[in-house]
Structure 1
């Protein structure tokens, strides 16, 4: 087997776009808006919906990943990196699930569900004072760094090693 299951391929690319969107949106759209701005609720609503959608799709992806055959791990050309690579891939799941958990904890602690989805009027509480907020930010940074490394590794495989690894996450026969 040389390719991942087609459902995993679709979920990989869909989640890649969604996670990047959530990270960029959180850092550059959500954080700069003051809590007392009326715009905050709309951006926060979109971020929360995106986050919950990512969580649901990650659960589906994990189930499909555990239940379908997949290619053998890629040879990186370095035994130490060959040992570390699978753990780094599992870190994506840990970080995304951690981000979802810290986001849900912030939402519960601040009562954001009622505020953001229309049940209770009022401004958004000061999010930076919430206990899970620091963890959410650190997890987002760690995920962004892991994504950058993942993209770098894909480019290395494609441009330097020329081992065709990108075909594993593509469509077609094989």
Structure 2
């Protein structure tokens, strides 16, 4: 039963990661490529909504069931503190982005226009109060995800004794 719980948690982790990456990329694309901003915003809206809702589920599980046991070997107090802090922010920031994104849509009434495929005036969303929070939270999430990925790679390499290739299996 514990294997199933870990498997579901890992599946939830990767689903959130994929939707967050898609939301970040499409949000950036919507700002940079005005000719496709409508298409990017529709993808951004769907991916962001899914990432936010799945993050709410994960946050609820985390708060009810407690945090998952560490998969890392013993680490220093500093590394453990940094890992807990980063993981906490990685759980909360997608929810902050969901709330600020819904706030921008609610204040502007832009959701029907975005979903209908029309291009949206970027100034309409830029004038809403949640926009600054939304952009700062997205940037923080991008930085934390990058650090998280780098730390995961570092730990995998450390577990293997800093060897990139797999060790040969013993035939004896």
* Fold match (TM-score > 0.5): yes
- Trace 1:25-174 onto structure 2 (pairs within 5 A): 25-27=26-28, 29-34=29-34, 37=35, 39-65=36-62, 66-67=64-65, 70-72=68-70, 74-75=72-73, 77-118=75-116, 123-124=120-121, 126=123, 127-162=125-160
Work out the CA distance in 1 between the residues paired with 2:57 and 2:12.
9
Work out the CA distance in 2 between the residues paired with 1:74 and 1:96.
24
**8 A contact 2:53–2:95 mirrored in 1:** no
Work out the CA distance in 1 between the residues paired with 2:4 and 2:73.
15
1:122: Cα distance to partner? 7.8
Work out the CA distance in 2 between the residues paired with 1:104 and 1:86.
28
TM-score by length of 2: 0.77
Work out the CA distance in 2 between the residues paired with 1:162 and 1:2.
23
- List runs of 5+ in structure 1 lacking aligned partners: 164-174
Matched with 1:11 is 12
TM-score by length of 1: 0.77
> Per the alignment, in what secondary structure is the counterpart of residue 31 of structure 1?
helix
Matched with 1:171 is none
Work out the CA distance in 1 between the residues paired with 2:69 and 2:154.
19
- List runs of 5+ in structure 2 lacking aligned partners: 162-172
Aligned residues: 158
**8 A contact 1:4–1:69 mirrored in 2:** no
Work out the CA distance in 2 between the residues paired with 1:114 and 1:137.
22
**What do the CA deviations read for 1:42-81 (whole angstroms, capped 9, x no partner)?**
3212211111111111122223333377324634532222
**8 A contact 1:55–1:96 mirrored in 2:** yes
- Superposed CA RMSD in Å reads 2.8
Work out the CA distance in 2 between the residues paired with 1:129 and 1:57.
28
